[in-house]
Structure 1
Amino acid sequence: MSLKTRVILSAALFSIPLVTPAFAQDTNSPAEPPPPAPEIGGDSFSIAIGGASVPTYEGSDTNRFVPVGMIRGSLSGINFSTRGTRLLVDVVPDKPGPGFDFQLGPVVGINRDRTSIKNIRDIRVAALGDRKTAVELGGYIGIGKTGVITSDYDKLTASVSYVHDINNAHKSYLITPQIDYGTPLSRKAYVGVSASAVYAGSGYARTYFSIDAPGSLASTLPVYSAGKGWKNFSLTGLATYSLTGDLTHGLAVIAGVSYSRLLGDFADSPVTRIAGDRNQLLFGAGLGYTF
């Protein structure tokens, strides 16, 4: 693997902050950017652990601290990464150095939002009861360009993913378009930003944001029927700094922050408007190691 490719790859490996609800409870915001694309035949593996402050449920106005972690890597030209409780695999190898690359592959994961009422501090939302763990399966497609603005090493990527619950939890789908940009500032430092939005199906809206008559009686929150639509948009920023060596190997510190705002019926739901907050702020930090 060339030095140029290793710099791009290793920076991208830790370009996703340990700061999203997906790491703690997989509330699907923000979206998963495509895995990095190394030179064919160049194997690598990265692991990170840390902690983050995340909402107690999607739409909550209180946060809790949780441990978080991720792995990313490449094996024989096949790239893979975890995003919280999701695994993405890019099955399309691309050429090293500046230029365009295409991403395509499966996405599989679980959504554990509101699966344990003991983690929900608002007693009204807790009174609505637990939700079943969703198993979400789908795929993504994207296109990236390396060598865009600052140097031959920065990268701009546009992608869209689709997943559907196959475990009869919310029995619905999520569509997530996203744009990512990242650039190394030096051999030791890397920064990145991303913007995304999530379109949720009616089953998702009903499961997590609607309140039926029995639920209203138990929680004192009003009856509410949420419909499909744009659920939220998110903006994320991050930074990585190598502590031992450079971005291509060794130990690095990672920190980031993500802001998400719920929209439409998801923002107007009583679990958000009365018991929570449409504005969701997440932040965290961790240590990563690239082999």
Structure 2
Amino acid sequence: MFPTIAAAQDSAPAADPAAALADRAGGDAITVGLGAGYMPDYEGSNDYQFTPVPGVIGTVSGINFQVLGNRANADLIPSQPGPSWDFQAGPIGVLNFMRTKRSSIDDPRVRALGTRATALELGGFVGVGKTGVITSPYDKISLSVSYRHDVTGVHKSGIWQPTINYFTPLSTRAAVALFGSAERVETKYLSTYFDVAPSQVAASGLPAFRGRGGWKSWTVGAVGTHSITGDLLSGFKVVGGVTYRKLINDVGDSPIVSIAGSRNQWLGVLGLAYTF
């Protein structure tokens, strides 16, 4: 959000409120927030629960970063002012909480399969963005691809994730972003989270299953924000979002998903944030 607004500072007259906002966006800005998320017990579940979702997004010394829920990344290539191309690269980290707590698994069949330790997945991403593409000199579209690998020995595999993002301010107080992504995983990922061993059939009541790596899912979603006090770069704001994920191929065919859960996964978040 902040690099996009800053990119417009040379594109509008000084009297334009959006241009005045863009002038302020050249410096550091940080948004911190906390929301309530409504999401599946685990990926593939058809049981849902509420959980807190923290978030921090900002720009410090030209470095753009974000921490959203269990995911963090930083773009180490500073954005250039004005409508231009923006090249992106940096580290990414994800904490995978898939079936880590027995108490959070409502389905007795899946609970009988046991829990998993929390996996830490580390890697990096590269991407490119363009400011001023559709609605105004202020909007931005970005394409990126990331790779991360489990470094804790839980599933011992990697995940590829291509992503497309589109962001546009609606006014100096409101903005919306649309995104889509997909994930490709290795076979060990499936064996850790979605396989059912023959020895587990009696306890779980699920048929034995052994999957292979490949494309795991695709996801689309939208996020919006509206300032309560101030504008996009200051004060309190309401933030909300919704995503839909479709589990496909061997992941979708796993009994954990096709019998005990659902291939259709929804996530909703509503929260309050403060920008300074």
Tell me if both proteins adopt one fold, taking TM over 0.5 as the criterion.
Answer: yes
- Checking the alignment, whether the CA contact within 8 Å between 2:76 and 2:89 is kept in structure 1 is yes
CA–CA separation in structure 1 for the residues paired with 2:5 and 2:223: 21
Shift in alpha-carbon separation, 1:184–1:218, aligned structure 2, 3 A: same
2:82 counterpart of 1:97: yes
**Which has the higher relative contact order, 1 or 2, with Cα contacts under 8 A spaced 6 or more apart?**
1
User: Over residues 219-258 of structure 1, what are the superposed CA-to-partner deviations in whole Å (9 max), with x where a residue is unaligned?
Assistant: 1111100110110001101211011011121111011111
CA–CA separation in structure 2 for the residues paired with 1:83 and 1:132: 21
Q: How far did residue 135 of structure 1 move? A: 1.1
Residue 283 of structure 1, aligned match among 249, 255, 268: 268
2:133 counterpart of 1:148: yes
Q: How far did residue 6 of structure 1 move? A: 8.2
Q: How far did residue 86 of structure 1 move? A: 2.3
The answer for the alignment partner of 1:158 in structure 2 is: 143
The answer for the alignment partner of 2:70 in structure 1 is: 85
The answer for the alignment partner of 1:130 in structure 2 is: 115
Task: Tell me the amino acid that sits aligned with residue 175 of structure 1.
Answer: W
2:50 counterpart of 1:65: yes
CA–CA separation in structure 2 for the residues paired with 1:87 and 1:74: 14
CA–CA separation in structure 1 for the residues paired with 2:212 and 2:3: 50
The root-mean-square deviation of aligned C-alpha atoms, in Å, is: 2.1
Shift in alpha-carbon separation, 1:189–1:41, aligned structure 2, 3 A: closer
Shift in alpha-carbon separation, 1:68–1:158, aligned structure 2, 3 A: same
Q: Please give the secondary structure, in 1, of the residue aligned with 2:193.
A: helix
- Checking the alignment, whether the CA contact within 8 Å between 1:240 and 1:254 is kept in structure 2 is yes
The answer for the alignment partner of 1:242 in structure 2 is: 227
Residue ranges of structure 1 left out of the alignment (5+ in a row):
9-37
2:225 counterpart of 1:218: no
User: Over residues 110-160 of structure 1, what are the superposed CA-to-partner deviations in whole Å (9 max), with x where a residue is unaligned?
Assistant: 111101111011000011001111111100001001111111110100011
Task: Tell me the amino acid that sits aligned with residue 240 of structure 2.
Answer: A
Shift in alpha-carbon separation, 1:40–1:97, aligned structure 2, 3 A: same
CA–CA separation in structure 1 for the residues paired with 2:126 and 2:190: 25
Task: Tell me the amino acid that sits aligned with residue 67 of structure 2.
Answer: T
Q: Please give the secondary structure, in 1, of the residue aligned with 2:161.
A: strand
Q: Identity of paired residues, percent?
A: 45
CA–CA separation in structure 2 for the residues paired with 1:3 and 1:144: 10
CA–CA separation in structure 2 for the residues paired with 1:154 and 1:58: 32
The answer for the alignment partner of 2:194 in structure 1 is: 209
Q: Please give the secondary structure, in 2, of the residue aligned with 1:280.
A: strand
Runs of 4+ in structure 1 off by over 3 angstroms are 1-4, 38-41
The answer for the alignment partner of 2:20 in structure 1 is: none
The answer for the alignment partner of 1:45 in structure 2 is: 30
2:159 counterpart of 1:174: yes
Residues paired across the two proteins, number: 262
2:259 counterpart of 1:274: yes
- After TM superposition, the score normalised by the length of structure 2 is 0.90
Residue ranges of structure 2 left out of the alignment (5+ in a row):
10-22
- Checking the alignment, whether the CA contact within 8 Å between 2:184 and 2:213 is kept in structure 1 is yes
- Checking the alignment, whether the CA contact within 8 Å between 1:79 and 1:90 is kept in structure 2 is yes
The answer for the alignment partner of 1:5 in structure 2 is: 6
Q: Please give the secondary structure, in 2, of the residue aligned with 1:105.
A: strand
The answer for the alignment partner of 1:29 in structure 2 is: none
The answer for the alignment partner of 1:74 in structure 2 is: 59
CA–CA separation in structure 2 for the residues paired with 1:79 and 1:182: 15
- Checking the alignment, whether the CA contact within 8 Å between 1:109 and 1:135 is kept in structure 2 is yes
Bigger Cα Rg? 2
Residue 253 of structure 1, aligned match among 220, 234, 238: 238
User: Over residues 182-216 of structure 1, what are the superposed CA-to-partner deviations in whole Å (9 max), with x where a residue is unaligned?
Assistant: 11111111111111100011111111111112222
- Checking the alignment, whether the CA contact within 8 Å between 1:40 and 1:77 is kept in structure 2 is no
Q: How far did residue 41 of structure 1 move? A: 7.0
Shift in alpha-carbon separation, 1:243–1:39, aligned structure 2, 3 A: closer
